[in-house]
């Protein structure tokens, strides 16, 4: 963990690239409080490009996405993959309910 920004460090040093780009507009705390899978991080970047004026990341997009997905991704345990059960006497819950 970087004591100054609070971001998770990686061996490749990509955390510095993410820090430099992401903290141009918001704090590292905002970044570290969020969790998303790779698709979620891509959607977040695209939203920031269209709605908030983020310049395209170009060649830096892949390493930044790799870092975000690895360090701030959604970690699902195998036991959490089971379908949720409805209370007795009710139909099964649909996914996403």
Give residues with Cβ within 8 angstroms of 64, minimum separation 6.
14, 17, 18, 21, 22, 57
Structural class in CATH, domain 14-74: mainly alpha
Q: DSSP class of residue 8?
A: P
Tell me the CA end-to-end span of the chain in Å, nearest whole number: 35
Residues 61-82: what's their mean pLDDT? 77
Looking at the predicted structure, is the pLDDT value of residue 76 above 70? no
Residues 22-43: what's their mean pLDDT? 89
Residues 38-62: what's their mean pLDDT? 92
* Cβ-based neighbour number of residue 45 at 10 Å: 19
Q: Across the chain, what does the average pLDDT equal? A: 81
What length does the chain have? 97
Give residues with Cβ within 8 angstroms of 41, minimum separation 6.
65, 68, 69, 72, 73
**Domain boundaries defined on the chain:** 14-74
Global pTM reads: 0.72
3-class state of residue 54 by DSSP: coil
């Amino acid at each position: 963990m970087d004591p100054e920004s609070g971001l998770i460090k990686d061996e490749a040093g990509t955390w510095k690239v993410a820090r430099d780009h992401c903290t141009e507009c918001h704090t590292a705390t905002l970044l570290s409080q969020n969790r998303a899978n790779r698709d979620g991080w891509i959607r977040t970047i695209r939203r920031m490009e269209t709605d908030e004026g983020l310049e395209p990341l170009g060649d830096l997009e892949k390493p930044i996405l790799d870092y975000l997905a690895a360090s701030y991704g959604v970690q699902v345990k195998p036991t959490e993959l089971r379908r949720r059960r409805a209370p007795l006497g009710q139909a099964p819950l649909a996914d996403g309910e």
